[in-house]
Chain A
């Protein structure tokens, strides 16, 4: 007697929906995408309050060794030698857009003297809004 063979199950993984899933992920990444114009590594100060910084804001970064870089928010940051250059950069930015927002990305260990000079340069250039970039204060790292 002939024994009927069991039907072979198809060894196929259904991949038709894969593209849909992946497209959803892509949409998420496209929406949250923002190019990091300033890649300076700094230890940001920690704060409890944090607000969203406007996109395309001009960036001034100060590392703990005192090196400064500026970026217009669109193109990669370039190093500047002195506070005078920050002032001329800010004036240049405000000439095209008087409402331009500025983001200060300074290391938390920088002596205040240097931050003071940069803020003063921004004030002299008549910048209206400055944001101090910060990290979220955690409970463990919290107030002394």
Chain B
């Protein structure tokens, strides 16, 4: 009698491989987020109680009013005019402190906009090295 030999396939079945990997892809795509991983760095100066903050007279004060109006040293200005105003002052004193004082009712977006303008100055030839954004508590503490 002739024995029938069943030949065993020596290939790895890979037909389902693509399906499995597609499932993995879908998982990673759904759980992945491309948004919101970038922003502005905001260095916090070391708190030093012994030395008071900069003298108000020697610095440039940028006030942001509720509603977004900007006032630099008492003059109202648009955001894109700030660097122009600062340029001669910073040429005389490169480390001149620039203080941003947003009104408590001003929006956070307006403060970030002004901060962005100052940080961007570096790319426009007006490097603002000394940006201060004191908090209300610090103002109360040092500015009487």
Contact = CB atoms under 8 A, between A and B. Distances in A.
Interface of A: 15-16, 18-19, 22-23, 25-26, 29-30, 32-36, 44-53, 62, 103-117, 119-120, 122-124, 126-134, 136-137, 143-144
Q: A interface, by DSSP: helix, strand, loop or mixed?
A: mixed
B15 to A, nearest CB: 7
Given A32-B32, A112-B107, A53 B112 contact: no
Contact of B36 (A23, A44, A116, A119): A44
Given A30-B28, A34-B33, A129 B104 contact: no
21 contacts: A22-B18, A22-B22, A29-B29, A32-B32, A45-B108, A45-B112, A47-B39, A49-B116, A52-B38, A107-B108, A108-B107, A110-B108, A112-B103, A112-B111, A113-B136, A116-B135, A117-B136, A131-B39, A133-B39, A134-B38, A134-B40
Nearest to A42: B36
A129 B107 CA distance: 22
A18 B112 contact: no
B8 interface: no
Would you list the 8 A-B pairs with minimal beta carbon distance, nearest first?
A: A108-B109, A29-B28, A113-B104, A45-B112, A120-B135, A22-B21, A47-B116, A18-B18
Contacts, number: 162
Interface of B: 14-15, 17-18, 21-22, 24-25, 28-29, 31-34, 36-44, 47, 64, 78-80, 102-113, 115-116, 119-120, 133, 135-138
A129 B115 CA distance: 16
Contacts of A122: 44
A51 B41 CA distance: 7
A29 B41 CA distance: 27
A112 B108 contact: yes
A124 B111 CA distance: 21
Contacts of B29: 29
Nearest to B112: A45
Question: Which one of B17, B104, B105, B116 has the greatest number of beta carbons of chain A within 10 Å?
Answer: B116
Given A15-B18, A25-B25, A108-B112, A130 B42 contact: yes
Contacts of B39: 44, 47, 50-51, 53, 103, 131-134
B112 A47 contact: yes
B42 A131 contact: yes
A131 B41 contact: yes
Contact of A120 (B41, B79, B119, B137): B137
A23 B119 CA distance: 42
